[in-house]
Amino acid sequence: MSGSRATLAAVESTVTDTSMTFAEAWATIGAAQKVGDGVPAYTRWVNRRAARVVAAAAVALGIGPNTVSFVSFGLSLAGLGALLALHTQNVLAGAIAAVLLALGYVLDSADGQVARLTGRSSKQGEWLDHVLDAARVPAIHVTVLLLATWSDSTLGVATAALFVPVVAAQFMSQILAGQLLQGQRRTTVHRWTPAGSTAKPATRSRRGTLQSVLLLPTDTGALCWVFLAWAWPPLFFALYALLFVINAGHTVASMRRRARDLARPTRQEVR
């Protein structure tokens, strides 16, 4: 187990007291941060840090993880609702939507940290988080579809209509593959790996940083802030289409990788 995972496990097993000050919660979260290598840039360097502040404040105020999840979802819906209601006031509508969506994303990252800090991690909380995400992300693209229809943007309509099934398939792929691989790891045939084949930590770190930067267009944060471009709808739809092309390519590559992982033989399959 890596150092960060060991620390995280220790926090989850020992932290059960919900009466913590902001400083105590802040210090505890700082000792149990997830590994950042390969995580899209905005999530890694902006959203997680902001979520740390929110999580520490929530714990200090006695706010539970499920409440944080619902507030996160509510902020996202409020941003989309404001965009639809004020869509003719382009600059204002885009700014409100971007800010509220970004805040919703911050809280979406904070709920899990609150759960771990208060010893309230549960399957129910994980389920709730996934259900809300499964509703939130398609709702963003359905909103864009409505905007594109009202704006008579053929590019926007086509892109949003394609974006919905792509994000749904990507979400299902990640969730289901994670569950299947978890079971497969318990039964996978372990093959010999030559000594010295593991990359050096420094090399992995550099590659992880580069990967984070390259994955920025696939970051949820990028999708949130692209709504600032609603100040000029043609620019917004062009950027939105660019995000779709990159995300679609990433989804295909991710699914191919998952398919290869799941195709590896297990003990039951070996004769």
Domain ranges of the chain: 3-188+203-269
pLDDT tens-digit profile, the chain (271 residues): 444 444 444 444 444 455 799 999 999 887 766 666 779 999 999 999 999 999 999 999 999 999 999 999 999 999 999 999 999 999 999 999 999 999 999 999 999 999 998 989 999 999 999 999 999 999 999 999 999 999 999 999 999 999 999 999 999 998 988 888 886 665 544 433 334 444 455 556 777 899 999 999 999 999 999 999 999 999 999 999 999 999 999 999 999 999 999 998 765 544 4
Let me know how long the chain is.
271
Residue 177 identity: A
CATH number of 3-188+203-269: 1.20.120.1760
The single-letter DSSP state of residue 263 is: T
Written as six digits, the tokens of 118 are 């208060």
Closest C-alpha to 141, from 76, 228, 202: 76
Residue 166, token pair as written in the block: 């792509």
For residue 91, the tally of other CB atoms under 10 A from its CB is: 12
Taking the model in full, what pTM does it have?
Answer: 0.86
> How far apart, in whole angstroms, are the C-alpha atoms of residue 210 and residue 204?
10
